[in-house]
Amino acid sequence: MAVLVTRRETFSAGHTLFNPRFSEERNREIFGKCSNPSGHGHNYVLEVTVRGEPDEETGFVFDLSELSSLVWKLVLNDVDHRNLNVDVDWLRGVIPTTENLANAFWMRLDANLPDGMLFSVRLQETEKNSVERRRD
Ligand code: NI
């Protein structure tokens, strides 16, 4: 009986969405308000879900406080209250869309959790917009 277990964390970060290969006008057309070169921030909500069988002795799939520590250590300490375009080594050259962030977070978490345990990384940028990366 596999069970899904989710930890929710929040962080704030600044970004500007632009592709240096596009003109200023095209960037504005494609990325809208998020292309403003002065930058702006979002209050993000990150939900990390792991999947597995509850352990017979603890009843846990994965200790949620340990999951929280991992999420902070591997991802959030680097991005919280940072400018995602310039401050984060492992986001260099990445356009910080919600899609690309969810993907980058997935890679870091998946590499450090037991094999196959990470089920999904869901990242909410605004009340209306969210993105989810799931195990294929
Ligand atoms: Ni934005």
Which residue type sits at 10? T
Give the domain ranges of the chain: 3-134
Q: State pLDDT tens for residues 8-66.
A: 999 999 999 999 999 999 999 999 999 988 889 999 999 999 999 999 999 999 999 99
Q: State pLDDT tens for residues 70-83.
A: 999 999 999 999 99
In this prediction the pTM is 0.95
The position carrying tokens 């939900």 is: 47
Longest C-alpha distance within the chain, in Å? 60
Distance 13 CA to ligand 1 centre (A): 9
Assign domain 3-134 one CATH number from 3.40.50.280, 3.30.2270.10, 3.40.50.360, 3.30.479.10.
Answer: 3.30.479.10
Of residues 23, 9, 13, 133, the one with CA closest to residue 71:
9
User: Is 9 assigned a catalytic role?
Assistant: no
Distance 36 CA to ligand 1 centre (A): 9
